[in-house]
Structure 1
Amino acid sequence: MSHRFAAQRLKNALQHLLILAGLALLLAVPGYLLAGSFGVIWAFGLVALTLYLGGRLPPRLALARTRAGLLQRYQAPELYRVLDILYYRAGLKGEPQLFLVPTADLNAFAVGDAREGGIAITAGLTRTLDLRQLAGVLAHEVSHLRHGDTRVMSMAATMTRLTIWGAFLVQLGLLLMLPMVLAGELRMPWLELLLVAFAPSTSTLLQLALSRNREFTADLEAAALTRDPASLASALQVLEHHQGLWLTSLLLGQRPPSWFRLLQTHPPTEERIRRLLALAERQPPRRPSPRPYVPDDPLRLQPPEPLSHRDWLWRRPRR
């Protein structure tokens, strides 16, 4: 089992590095065409500046418009007990922070990183999943915090945006050169034109591929943290049943075409479930709990007071 985890982690890490290298190369193309080596340095300098400024902003600002509130331990004791175990196994030293978003949507996401961050879950998710399934979802988000995936995806998004802007400037410059090309004073730079034509779309596809890679890795880490891959697989099956209905109705019952997967930020749910269940088959049998959680009983969550924009901006929520 450990060898399988190690091999999959290595594969995901290599894919991660190759995708980031591809994004960097695509960003370098318009930078070089615009200003040579200086343009490349300038482009990567903007990426570094964006990451630095983004790291200075409190990650909880991402929750400012969601009407989220910080759940205290007495308001969600079961979930905090799960988080304490997951943080310990993940080696995270910070105090767990759990936020509740008052919406019926089924969603969970991580904000910030291992140093200063937390996990937000929606009220709809707590009403739909049982505690074991929620543990798998929380472990997935803890993995995102552990590996700083929000920062990684922020860097990838910045590189893609700069590639798009740089390609636009190069195309604008080529358009301004068109009269001289028609007059025979300059040759049409077909190679450069081809590169900048495909750079934005290729960079976007690589960014989406990176997102799918990080989701697969978070699934794998969640299985290791909970030691129960079937918990996350079960949660994904429930989420797919509820959220996959819109796509089925849109396509009139047909399966989405294979190319549609390239435009998704998450891997196909059936593939994620298949991988997790394959890991679960190699797990030793789980010991029955002396006090099993009954899925039909809802979690006793006391909804927190939503914080105002001023609270999110100027101070860290008090525990």
Structure 2
Amino acid sequence: MGYVKTAMLMAAMTALFMGVGYLIGGASGAVIALVVAAAMNLFTWWNSDRMVLRMHNAQPVPAGDRMGLHELTATLAQNANLPMPKLYLIDTPQPNAFATGRNPENAAVAVTTGLLQSLSREEVAGVIAHELAHIRNHDTAIMTVTATFAGAISMLANFAMFFGGSRERLGLIGTLLMMFLAPLAAALVQMAISRTREYAADKAGAEICGEPLWLASALEKIALGAARIDNHAAERNPATAHMFIINPLHAHKHDNLFATHPATENRVAALRAMARQGGHPPGPGLQPGPRRGRSQAPGRRDIGPWG
């Protein structure tokens, strides 16, 4: 089903791309746009993960890292019945994370240094579980395709001012409207996809790590950090904003048409309701560590040095 959704999205974005090409150059412009879109589809499908990771200067995390991030992710991937994704670290103080890749066999999870510095081990587990849910649901291919096409459509629409054919066909006002409406249409597709998939990934991520409150607490901390700390790479590449667990561009507070993510308050409320109904017990190696004033239960393992 994930591949069907991706194919439908590619078709829709290709049609939008061709429409912009037609408005700029007529029938020949549409044909050129179709050829370019076909090449982009192929290139994006095979190279999308590397493109996005390069945009954010993500560096690979080796196995056996001193933080224990690789070991934690491997445990969560096993819980999710997924192959171990590649792990990357982004050097930015803003807490955030995203997943990318065309399928579970070619997936990657990237977390920021700010995330590891501001969240407990349990909260990091909740975030990684959320990203693994995106991979399992094949959301990563959809997210990356929309990011690539949205950026290309915005660039193509801006080129309209430099093509005489578009001004003759649409007039100055029409050309200016196209420059605004074409990127807006692409952005609306991004937003609609992003908002619906986040709730599903929150729920599945809570099931993967076994404790909805870990992810709920992480979302609250990430939202606070994203609201006051800039992510300069994301600002330079706003078409990738919908890929992050929380909008890195200072997300809209309310669930409205132009928000790339659901309101954090709504996501947290849904996770807390899930916890009240009874979450799945954390798997081996995922139990929280001992807390002050409380002894650790026999046979339970601390999940690592955080927290």
Q: Please, what TM-score do these two structures have when normalized by structure 2? A: 0.66
Q: Which residue, out of 83, 89, 97, partners 1:100?
A: 89
Counterpart amino acid of residue 269 in structure 1 = T
By how many angstroms is 1:30 displaced?
Answer: 3.1
Counterpart amino acid of residue 80 in structure 2 = A
By how many angstroms is 1:21 displaced?
Answer: 7.0
Unmatched runs of 5 consecutive residues or more in structure 2: 231-250, 293-301
Give the aligned partner of residue 173 of structure 1: 165
Q: Cα gap change, 1:128/1:282 in structure 2, threshold over 3 Å: closer, same or farther? A: same
Equivalent-residue separation in structure 1 for 2:176 and 2:54 (angstroms) = 41
1:17-166 matches, cutoff 5 A: 23=13, 25-33=15-23, 34-36=25-27, 40=30, 42-57=32-47, 59-60=49-50, 62-63=53-54, 66=57, 68-73=59-64, 75-77=66-68, 79-93=69-83, 95-113=84-102, 114-164=104-154, 165=156
SS of residue matched to 2:61:
strand
User: Does the CA-based 8 Å contact 2:79-2:208 persist in structure 1?
Assistant: yes
Q: Deviations over 1:288-316 (max 9, x none)?
A: 99974147899548xxxxxxxxxxxxxxx
Equivalent-residue separation in structure 1 for 2:177 and 2:55 (angstroms) = 42
SS of residue matched to 1:92:
coil
Q: Deviations over 1:95-142 (max 9, x none)?
A: 343333444331222243422332222333223222221111001111
Give the aligned partner of residue 297 of structure 2: none
**Larger RCO (alpha carbons 8 Å, 6+ apart):** 1
Aligned residues: 271
Q: Does 1:241 align with 2:224?
A: yes
Percentage identity across aligned positions? 28
Equivalent-residue separation in structure 1 for 2:197 and 2:124 (angstroms) = 20
1:225-304 matches, cutoff 5 A: 225-245=208-228, 261-283=256-278, 286=281, 292-294=288-290, 300=305
User: Does the CA-based 8 Å contact 2:212-2:275 persist in structure 1?
Assistant: yes
Give the aligned partner of residue 198 of structure 1: 181
Q: Cα gap change, 1:123/1:198 in structure 2, threshold over 3 Å: closer, same or farther? A: closer
User: Does the CA-based 8 Å contact 2:90-2:112 persist in structure 1?
Assistant: yes
SS of residue matched to 1:52:
helix
Counterpart amino acid of residue 66 in structure 2 = Q
By how many angstroms is 1:244 displaced?
Answer: 3.2
Equivalent-residue separation in structure 2 for 1:100 and 1:66 (angstroms) = 9
SS of residue matched to 1:104:
coil
Equivalent-residue separation in structure 1 for 2:13 and 2:128 (angstroms) = 30
Q: Cα gap change, 1:88/1:176 in structure 2, threshold over 3 Å: closer, same or farther? A: same
Q: Deviations over 1:133-180 (max 9, x none)?
A: 1111001111233344343233223433454425854984252358xx
Q: Cα gap change, 1:192/1:21 in structure 2, threshold over 3 Å: closer, same or farther? A: farther
User: Does the CA-based 8 Å contact 1:19-1:210 persist in structure 2?
Assistant: no
User: Does the CA-based 8 Å contact 1:28-1:43 persist in structure 2?
Assistant: yes
